[in-house]
Amino acid sequence: QVQVVESGGGLVQAGGSLRLSCASSGLTFSSYTMGWFRQTPGKEREFVAAMTWSGNNQYYSDSVKGRFFISRDNAKNTVYLQMNNLKPEDTAVYYCAAASGRTPPASREYAYDYWGQGTQVAVTS
């Protein structure tokens, strides 16, 4: 049984930092592209960041580029999202997801096979 579990969300002031973690089990983690998405009430889920299975390629949405950084530790089956200089508009539920295949379209929800339950991030001004 595949499990994808996010952690690390919380409440932070604007300008602060948080690091989200996503632990996976039941899959060959090192073969999966891992992505982060986020969603606010009334809006569609949007792509945030992704990293390919090898770690050689990283992708970011324009809204987080230069502030958020994705990394992975294949030995720990874990992907991270370091979020710096947080803004109130970053407030959302953040989801981790795993995509199989060597070159999935990393920014597309349909590419992902497994999803976590999400972790809430709230940024106050």
Q: What angle do CA 34, 108, 113 make, to 5 degrees?
A: 55
8 Å CB contact between 40 and 88: no
Phi, psi angle pair for 30, to nearest 5°? -70, -10
What residue has token string 């106050």? 124
Tokens of 26: 């039941």
Instruction: Provide the pLDDT for residue 73.
Output: 96
Instruction: Provide the pLDDT for residue 20.
Output: 98
Instruction: Provide the pLDDT for residue 54.
Output: 87
H or E stretch at 33:
strand 33-39
Strand partners, 20: 81
3-state DSSP helix/strand/coil % of the chain, to nearest 5: 5, 50, 45
Distance CA 125, CA 122 (A): 10
Instruction: Provide the pLDDT for residue 11.
Output: 98
Instruction: Provide the pLDDT for residue 104.
Output: 82
Instruction: Provide the pLDDT for residue 103.
Output: 78
Tens place of pLDDT for every residue, the chain, 125 residues? Answer: 999 999 999 999 999 999 999 999 999 999 999 999 999 999 999 999 999 998 899 999 999 999 999 999 999 999 999 999 999 999 999 999 999 977 788 999 999 999 999 999 999 99
